[in-house]
């Protein structure tokens, strides 16, 4: 812990530090000033994508040989934290870019990587399309079918809650190729947004992160060639779960940003606002909650940067990622709740940023594996270790 800050600060290498500075600068200049407007108008910020392209952040996950910036997961964590602290919607848009690209990075052929990852650098997004009605937490229960058709396949079904849906140029779609084989009968396909039979007819009206676009994805007998298969046939669920392992670190980074923004707002207001002749932070009911939050947030940062470090070191990220996401999203919950409480009546009304953060935080405990799923993953690991 440095002398200057109460919160624990990660020690970053020069590269990650440089990316963090870049993210901090563009977040202050471009993202924070529009955060309230994006929320109010539920508007997707196309202009921010241009900023991502100009700075190289659109290619943060793209390997250098495909023209990308190839950031470490540690640097991505720092960037997503900074961007989310300024505007939770913009942080989520950046993280969703990561989620769709991860399965291609993990399992794509050289040609698929060139085709899909290259355009990411120039701002095209690729979305991850797994969830269906009745198959969110129970990912193996999806019903979307991919039936063999000559050299290729025909896909039929409907995906929901697609991050960056209707914005992305391509989707990684998970579909059943062997319906009787359960978890071992799912295959991942790369599907172009403009393929005949692909439609989007629902954009969600969300409680929070309202600047993001979340849609359904209907597939009506969509023909894809065999080279659209990503990774091994019938091993798509494994690929989806490996992708989510990493996606959860990004969600934890979003949580750090939201928690940090709420902590800073709450602390400044608790020092500024006086009741009964003294700043409200001097009342233990408020001051001690801020102290607990400083501890919680420091611990959340340690868990998240440790998960990112594990990934960068080639170590398994499933359990550290689950811990980071679970803890950070719940710390963010406590942080936004405290911020609203400290602002009192103002905190309950728009356009107080605490009110927006309160709504933006909630999805962290739901998407990319709910808190219950993280506890399931962790409790199974505890049981296995002690069997």
Q: In 3-state terms, what secondary structure has residue 209? A: coil
Nearer of residues 184 and 274 to ligand COS, judged by Cβ = 184
Nearer of residues 108 and 353 to ligand COS, judged by Cβ = 108
Between CA 62 and CA 85 the distance in angstroms is 24
Beta strand pairing status for 186-192 and 170-176? Answer: antiparallel
Q: Does position 361 bind ligand COS by CB under 6 A?
A: no
Q: Is 215 exposed, middle or buried (0-12, 13-18, 19+ CB in 10 A)?
A: buried
> Least distance (Å) from ligand COS to the CB of residue 341?
30
Q: Does position 140 bind ligand COS by CB under 6 A?
A: yes
Q: For residue 4, what is the DSSP state?
A: S
Nearer of residues 121 and 170 to ligand COS, judged by Cβ = 170
- Pattern 146-185, binding to ligand COS, x per CB under 6 A? ---------------x---------------------xx-
Q: 142-146: long-range contacts at Cβ-Cβ below 8 A with a sequence spacing of 24 or more?
A: 142/174, 142/175, 142/176, 142/186, 143/176, 144/173, 144/174, 144/175, 144/176, 144/219, 145/175, 145/176, 145/179, 146/175, 146/176, 146/177, 146/187, 146/189, 146/224
Between CA 89 and CA 324 the distance in angstroms is 20
Cβ-contact 341, 347 below 8 angstroms? yes
Q: Does position 241 bind ligand COS by CB under 6 A?
A: yes
CA angle 203, 365, 8 (to 5 degrees): 125
Question: Which residues between 12 and 71 bind ligand COS (CB under 6 A)?
Answer: none
The structure tokens listed for 158 are 């409907």
Q: With helix as H, strand as E and coil as C, how does 131-169 read?
A: CECCECCCHHHCCCEEEEECCEEEEEEEEEEEECCCCCC
- Pattern 98-137, binding to ligand COS, x per CB under 6 A? --------------------------------xx----xx
Q: In 3-state terms, what secondary structure has residue 192? A: strand
Q: Does position 369 bind ligand COS by CB under 6 A?
A: yes
Q: Which of 237, 260, 261, 308 binds ligand COS (CB under 6 A)?
A: 237
> Least distance (Å) from ligand COS to the CB of residue 112?
20
Q: Which of 71, 200, 300, 377 binds ligand COS (CB under 6 A)?
A: 377
Q: Which of 73, 139, 217, 270 binds ligand COS (CB under 6 A)?
A: 139
Catalytic site includes residue 368: yes
The structure tokens listed for 333 are 């919950």
> Site for ligand COS (CB under 6 A): how many residues?
22
User: Which segment (2-10, 100-108, 350-358, 365-373) binds ligand COS by CB under 6 A?
Assistant: 365-373
User: Which segment (224-232, 331-339, 352-360, 362-370) binds ligand COS by CB under 6 A?
Assistant: 362-370
Nearer of residues 119 and 136 to ligand COS, judged by Cβ = 136
The structure tokens listed for 136 are 């969110």
Residues that bind ligand COS (CB under 6 A): 130-131, 136-137, 139-140, 161, 183-184, 237-238, 241-242, 244-245, 318, 367-369, 373, 376-377
Active-site residue numbers? 368
């Amino acid at each position: 812990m440095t002398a200057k800050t109460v919160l624990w600060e990660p020690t970053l290498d020069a590269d990650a530090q440089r990316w963090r500075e870049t993210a901090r600068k563009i977040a202050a200049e471009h993202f924070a000033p529009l955060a309230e407007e994006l929320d109010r108008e539920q508007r997707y910020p196309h202009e921010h994508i241009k900023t991502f392209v100009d700075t190289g952040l659109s290619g943060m996950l793209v390997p250098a040989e495909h023209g990308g910036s190839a950031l470490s997961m540690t640097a991505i964590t720092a960037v997503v934290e900074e961007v989310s602290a300024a505007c939770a919607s913009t942080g989520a848009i950046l993280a969703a870019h990561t989620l769709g690209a991860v399965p291609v990075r993990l399992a794509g052929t050289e040609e698929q990587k060139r085709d899909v990852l290259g355009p990411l650098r120039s701002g095209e997004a690729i979305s991850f399309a797994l969830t269906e009605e009745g198959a969110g937490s129970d990912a193996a229960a999806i019903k979307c079918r991919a039936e063999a058709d000559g050299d290729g396949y025909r896909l039929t079904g409907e995906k929901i809650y697609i991050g960056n849906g209707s914005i992305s140029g391509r989707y990684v779609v998970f579909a059943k190729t062997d319906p009787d084989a359960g978890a071992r009968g799912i295959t991942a396909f790369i599907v172009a947004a403009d393929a005949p039979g692909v439609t989007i007819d629902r954009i969600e009206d969300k409680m929070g992160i309202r600047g993001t676009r979340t849609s359904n994805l209907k597939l009506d007998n969509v023909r894809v060639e065999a080279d659209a298969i990503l990774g091994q046939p019938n091993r798509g669920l494994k690929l989806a779960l490996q992708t989510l392992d990493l996606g959860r670190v990004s969600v934890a980074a979003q949580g750090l940003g939201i928690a940090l923004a709420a902590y800073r707002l709450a602390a400044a207001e608790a020092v500024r606002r006086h009741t009964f002749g003294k700043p409200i932070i001097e009342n233990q009911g408020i001051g001690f909650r801020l102290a607990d939050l400083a501890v919680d947030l420091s611990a959340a940062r340690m868990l998240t940067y440790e998960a990112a470090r594990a990934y960068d070191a080639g170590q398994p990220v499933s359990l550290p990622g689950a811990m980071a996401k679970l803890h950070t999203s719940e710390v963010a919950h406590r942080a936004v709740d405290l911020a609203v409480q400290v602002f009192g009546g103002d905190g309950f009304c728009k356009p107080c940023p605490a009110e927006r953060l309160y709504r933006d935080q909630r999805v962290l405990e739901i998407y990319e594996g709910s808190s219950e799923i993280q506890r399931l993953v962790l409790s199974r690991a505890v049981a296995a270790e002690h069997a």
